[in-house]
Amino acid sequence: MSRYDKYDPVSGGFRAPLNAALASSEIGKLKAVSINTSGKVVIGGPAETAIIGVICPVRAMAVGDIVDVMTAGEVVEATFTAGTAFTAGAIVYGHLDGTLDVTATAGKIVGKTVELSRLIVRVPLPTT
């Protein structure tokens, strides 16, 4: 189960309300997120360029709950959104549907793996 390790909410991310609830089945699953026109966190985005960070929920969350969005930090025990393991040295991409994997097609770089299960997150500012 993925979890934040090195994260400073002052300089490595921000907090914002969720646009949709997250079920308990989403706990520990990394998701690429964007911000909608209401200022709420949305899983995925209207275009891969809109991806602004990643989340890793630690509990089920309701609509409007505040979530930490990581833009710079480290995630340990990191796995693809589907739960399979990353490989060391892989570039990780976020996609329109919120999934994270190593497929560059229609994805935005969100970070790079170090070792087998540590993801260094450095999400560039969105262009849309």
Task: Dump pLDDT digits (tens) for 95-116.
Answer: 999 999 888 888 899 999 998 8
Query: Is residue 12, in this structure, part of any structural domain at all?
Result: yes
CA distance 63 to 58: 15
Total tally of structural domains belonging to the chain: 1
* DSSP symbol at 18: B
Query: Is residue 64, in this structure, part of any structural domain at all?
Result: yes
* Angle at 97 (CA atoms; ends 104, 25), nearest 5 degrees: 120
Task: Kindly state the average pLDDT of the residues 4-27.
Answer: 87
Of the chain, the percentage scoring pLDDT greater than 90 comes to 60
Query: Is residue 128, in this structure, part of any structural domain at all?
Result: no
**What pLDDT score was predicted for residue 128?**
63
Query: Is residue 47, in this structure, part of any structural domain at all?
Result: yes
- Average pLDDT, rounded, for the chain: 89
Confidence of residue 84 (pLDDT cuts 50, 70, 90): confident
Task: Kindly state the average pLDDT of the residues 19-40.
Answer: 93
Structural domain for 15, as ranges: 3-122
Query: Is residue 40, in this structure, part of any structural domain at all?
Result: yes
Query: Is residue 42, in this structure, part of any structural domain at all?
Result: yes
